């Protein structure tokens, strides 16, 4: 049995708004109804009664919520509107980034955002873009100061190269490491092998600054470093982002400054000439070709099919017997996209049905709200008549209590109806986005780059099996409103 999604409900209403439909109880009931309609399990309610939304990130209840999130106690957070989560834009970004990092979902009922759906995930995309823009703005300001500090020979962060150390913000020779750095060049001239140099240094008992043995990679990096010949290069790399690699900047952005030399210019140049010659010799020219269905095509024997060498066929890597022309199978795949991605008629019918369903529920909500106000007016009138002595004490309950009971029933019905409207709008937004994107996908297919096509194929295709003269296509991207088409089988003639 599939485990229900565990969700938390977030309730925050400032003191001045704790009236009528802005009461915490109303928000909680609305969220509960939505979660129950989705079949989710409510494991926690986080209430911040009378708390301002200016800053909520460091509150104890917020920390508890994040602890529950990271432990897996909750997998999603439901709240009535984004303003209830917080009014501070920076904190809203942090909330969204934290939930995305934990692969959890945010559900805002008023804005129809449910990040467990394809349309809702766009919210994370937008948030990520804004956050990235903010980070880039900060990085740009920091980067602007880097060349100036580099020109002044000041440290830009990080340790000094092996053989050097920082002293009073100036780079100076490290008397203990410098002889080892010099010996490295001398040994390389002698044996011309980075691995051999590393082995000899290790055998002599020398170690890197962190106590590790030298490797050929470390030796190569230090041999290339021009600091050893008295030329320090700074501002020549930049990060591609958190957790990603670094890349070399254009030489026009590099900043060079003099520093104490460990080896002569001639020795450094001789070593690097050998390195360049070796690297040129070992360089392999490769050509990356993006084949649309490589690895997704399966042979009836179970093997994966690829395009080998300069072939114009996909071929089974296991039995080596099954094959099909690249153009043939990719044309068949494109033909089947439209059957999978739906038609204009589907989209129009869906939009009409969704609009009618939402309008009907909203009209019900409006009518119940009007009836509730009328009952409240009748209750007030009854109370005034009683206070004026026009209704006897014994008769008051007979007039007032039925009105009060009916009013409570309507009051309880409103959040439930609101949750149904929230759910309909969420589903409409989700499916409408899926259907719209699907239609655009098919129409624009031939304008996409091979890399983009491949990325899309990986997202919507489980596998394509070729067994004998039959092709079976399994798509795995299922728009919520419609079922996937049956597995499509096609006959083909091997070209």
Distance CA 299, CA 321 (A): 9
Decide if 119 is inside a domain.
Answer: yes
- Residues 313 and 233 grouped into a single domain: no
**Do 206 and 325 fall within a single domain?**
no
Q: What is the CATH number of the domain that holds 162?
A: 3.90.1750.20
Let me know if residue 398 belongs to a domain: no
Same-domain status, 306 and 349: yes
| CATH classification at residue 33 | 3.40.50.1390
Task: Please give the pLDDT value at position 256.
Answer: 77
Domain identity same for 157 and 68: no
Residue 324's DSSP bridge partners are 314
pLDDT attached to residue 95 = 81
User: Alpha-carbon distance 78 to 109, whole Å?
Assistant: 8
- Choose the final residue of a domain: 228, 247, 282: 282
R_g of the chain, CA atoms, integer Å: 34
Residue 324 shares a structural domain with residue 214:
no
Do 188 and 265 belong together in one domain? yes
Q: Identify the pLDDT of residue 84.
A: 72
Q: Judge whether 483 lies within some domain.
A: yes
Pick the last residue of a domain from 229, 255, 282. Answer: 282
Tell me: do 31 and 160 sit in the same domain.
Answer: no
| Residues 162 and 40 grouped into a single domain | no
185 and 221 in a single domain? The answer is: yes
Regarding whether 431 and 357 lie in a shared domain, the answer is yes
What the block records as the tokens of 101 is 């990092």
Task: Assess whether 257 carries a catalytic annotation.
Answer: no
- pLDDT at position 88 is 61
Do 477 and 338 lie in one domain? The reply is: yes
Establish if 259 belongs to a structural domain.
yes
Identify whether residues 18 and 55 lie together within a single domain: yes
Spatial CA neighbour of 305 closest among 449, 464, 494, 493: 464
Question: What was the pLDDT predicted at 374?
Answer: 92
Is 141 a domain residue?
Answer: no
Q: Please report the pLDDT score of residue 275 as a whole number.
A: 92
- CA-nearest of 154, 208, 114 to 433 is 114
The answer to whether the CB of 473 falls within 8 A of the CB of 487 is: yes
Structural domain count of the chain: 3
Mapping DSSP onto H, E and C, the string for the chain reads: CCCCCEEEEEEEECHHHCCHHHCHHHHHHHHHHHHHHCCCEEEEEEEEECCCCCCCCCCHHHHHHHHHHHHCCCCEEEECCHHHHCCCHHHHHHHHHHHHHCCCEEEECCCCEECCCCCCHHHHHHHHHHHHHHHHHHHHHHHHHHHHHHHCCCCCCCCCCCCEEEECCEEEECCCCHHHHHHHHHHHHHHCCHHHHHHHHHHCCCCCCCCCCCCHHHHHHHHHCHHHHCEEEECCEEECCCCCCEEECCHHHCEEEECCCCCCHHHHHHHHHHHHHHHHHHCCCCCCCCCCCCCCEEECCCCEEECCCCCCEEEECCCCCCEEEHHHHHHHHHHHHHHHHCCHHHHHHHHHHHHHHHHHHHHHHHHHHHHHHHHHHHHHHHHHHHHCCCCCHHHHHHHHHHHHHHHHHHHHHHHHHHHHHHHHHHHHHHHHHHHHHHHHHHHCHHHCCHHHHHHHHHHHEEEEEEECCEEEEEECCCCCCCCCCCCEEEECCCC
Residue 428 confidence (pLDDT): 64
81 lies in some domain: yes
pLDDT tens, residue order, the chain (495 aa): 457 889 999 888 765 544 444 577 877 888 888 888 888 899 999 988 666 555 677 788 888 999 999 999 999 999 887 777 766 666 777 787 788 888 888 888 877 777 766 656 655 555 555 545 555 555 555 454 444 444 544 544 457 889 999 888 788 999 999 999 999 999 999 999 999 999 999 999 999 998 999 999 999 999 999 899 998 876 555 555 555 455 666 766 677 778 899 999 999 999 999 999 888 877 654 444 568 888 889 999 989 998 887 788 999 988 888 889 988 998 888 888 766 655 555 556 656 777 787 888 888 889 988 998 999 999 999 898 888 888 888 888 888 899 999 988 888 888 878 877 877 777 665 555 555 555 666 677 777 778 777 877 776 777 899 988 888 888 754 443 333 334 444 444 443
Q: Give the structural domain span for 346.
A: 286-362+416-495
- pTM of the entire predicted model: 0.40
Catalytic annotation, pick one of 14, 55, 226, 404 = 14
Residue 368 lies in a domain: no
pLDDT at 495: 39
């Amino acid at each position: 049995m599939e485990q229900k999604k565990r969700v938390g409900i977030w309730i925050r209403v400032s003191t001045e708004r704790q009236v009528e439909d802005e009461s915490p109880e109303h928000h909680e009931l609305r969220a509960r109804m939505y979660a129950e309609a989705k079949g989710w399990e409510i494991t926690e309610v986080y209430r911040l009664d009378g708390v301002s939304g200016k800053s909520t990130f460091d509150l104890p209840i917020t920390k508890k919520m994040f602890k529950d999130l990271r432990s897996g106690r909750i997998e999603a957070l439901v709240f009535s509107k984004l303003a209830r989560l917080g009014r501070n834009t920076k904190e809203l970004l942090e909330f969204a980034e934290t939930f995305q990092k934990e692969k959890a979902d945010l559900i805002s009922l008023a804005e129809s955002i449910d990040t467990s759906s394809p349309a809702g995930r766009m919210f994370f995309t937008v948030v990520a873009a804004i956050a990235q823009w903010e980070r880039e703005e900060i990085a740009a300001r920091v980067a602007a100061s880097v060349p100036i500090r580099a020109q002044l020979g000041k440290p830009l962060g990080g340790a000094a190269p092996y053989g050097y150390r920082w002293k009073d913000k100036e780079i100076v020779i490290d008397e203990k490491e410098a002889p080892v750095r010099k010996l490295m060049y001398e040994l390389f001239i002698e044996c011309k092998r980075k691995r051999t140099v590393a082995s000899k240094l290790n055998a002599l008992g020398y170690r890197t600054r962190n106590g590790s043995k030298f490797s050929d990679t470390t030796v190569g990096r230090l041999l290339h470093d021009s600091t050893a010949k008295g030329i320090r290069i700074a501002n020549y790399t930049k990060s591609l982002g958190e957790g990603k690699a670094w890349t070399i900047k254009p030489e026009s952005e590099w900043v060079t400054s003099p520093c104490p030399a460990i080896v002569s210019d001639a020795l450094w140049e001789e070593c690097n000439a050998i390195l360049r010659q070796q690297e040129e010799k070992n360089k392999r020219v490769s050509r990356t070709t993006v084949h649309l269905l490589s690895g997704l095509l399966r042979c009836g024997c179970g093997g994966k099919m690829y395009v080998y060498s300069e072939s114009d066929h996909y071929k089974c890597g296991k039995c080596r017997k099954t094959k099909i022309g690249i153009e043939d199978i990719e044309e068949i795949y494109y033909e089947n996209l439209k059957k999978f991605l739906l038609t204009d008629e589907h989209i129009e019918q869906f939009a009409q049905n969704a609009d009618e369903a939402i309008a009907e529920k909203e009209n019900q909500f409006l009518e119940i709200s009007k009836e509730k106000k009328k009952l409240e007016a009748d209750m007030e009138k009854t109370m005034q008549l009683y206070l004026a002595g026009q209704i006897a004490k014994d008769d008051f309950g007979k007039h007032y209590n039925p009105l009060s009971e009916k009013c409570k029933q309507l009051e309880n019905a409103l959040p439930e109806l609101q949750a149904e409207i929230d759910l309909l709008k969420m589903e409409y937004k989700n499916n409408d986005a899926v259907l719209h994107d699907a239609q655009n996908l098919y129409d624009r297919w031939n304008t996409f780059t091979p890399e983009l096509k491949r990325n899309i194929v990986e997202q919507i295709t489980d596998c394509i099996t070729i067994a004998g003269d039959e092709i079976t296509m399994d798509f795995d991207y299922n728009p919520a409103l419609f079922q996937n088409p049956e597995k499509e089988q096609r006959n083909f003639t091997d070209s």
